[in-house]
Amino acid sequence: MSLPTAVTLKEMGPRDGLQNEARAISRADKVRLVDDLSRAGLSHIEVGSFVSPRWVPQMAGSQAVFADIERRSGTVYAALTPNLKGFELALQAGADEVAIFAAASETFSQRNINCSISESMQRFEPVMSAAASAGIRVRGYVSCVLGCPYEGEIPASQVASVARELHAMGCYETVLSDTIGTGTPGATRNLFAVVARDIPREHLAGHFHDTYGQALANIYASLLEGINVFDSAVAGLGGCPYASGATGNVASEDVLYMLQGLGIHTGIDLELLIQAGNRISAVLHRPTGSRVARARQADH
């Protein structure tokens, strides 16, 4: 299969990237990050999540962040909503789109959201119904698709079963997420080939963490399988609180650099993206997780 001519990068930094930070991050810094990403040309930004602040305190101010960002025409500002209450708050905040999440691993589902996979799907039904009534699109994540911290390897058929259910519920896009970053290119290609038997490739996306340094290779493998939508996080922000040792999302800057080298169009300005990553890294008092950004710093 030939490489796509264009790819959409969906930015996870403000939500998936910041949600695990122990250091308090001001609303102004969160808003600045979203605005920086908009200016860089990101067409889809996950701004925050509407979950209990008891479980994810860093996302407690998501409604205020939505209120303060400078919205740009053509950019989708999305939110993660695990239940109907979260969806209603996201709607009030003016989210353009919402996302729900399920796991391909029963144990991970229990540890992460305290219910079985089947029960999690039942929780999503009222969200899907309310979203349909409001004309809001819903994106569905499937976590632990290439490995689970508790169960180890997850069969592709098991991932496909969960993905099928999300697609059947009405999710316009199903995101296969390597939550702990243990996947390899061969396993990635096989996974997409199996899932694509039931869900058209244009309705699938990839989400890769870089724990084992395989994320870019896995994205390239996904491109070869006809996938042209990927999640990433500026400066490689993120991690997984339920997966010991799991590092951040693949850095948006590094993915963009690779895609540009392949002649694939994204509409994103690499220099502005690097600036956004460097700025939030300074706020967090640590070096950027982007190899491209660090290399640029060394060159100067």
Active site (catalytic) residues: 240
Strands 44-49 and 204-208: unpaired
Contact 272, 39 (CB under 8 A): yes
Contact 148, 107 (CB under 8 A): yes
Q: Which residue has the tokens 């690097």?
A: 274
d(CA 290, CA 240): 18
d(CA 267, CA 219): 18
Contact 102, 162 (CB under 8 A): yes
| Buried b or exposed e, range 56-89, using 16+ CB within 10 angstroms | bebbbbbbebbeebeeeeebbbbbbbbbbebbeb
- Give every CB contact of residue 112 below 8 A, 6+ residues apart in sequence: 103, 143, 242
Q: What are the respective helix, strand and coil percentages of the chain, to the nearest 5?
A: 45, 15, 35
d(CA 200, CA 174): 10
Cite the beta strand spans of 105-249 per DSSP E. 137-143, 173-178, 204-208, 229-232
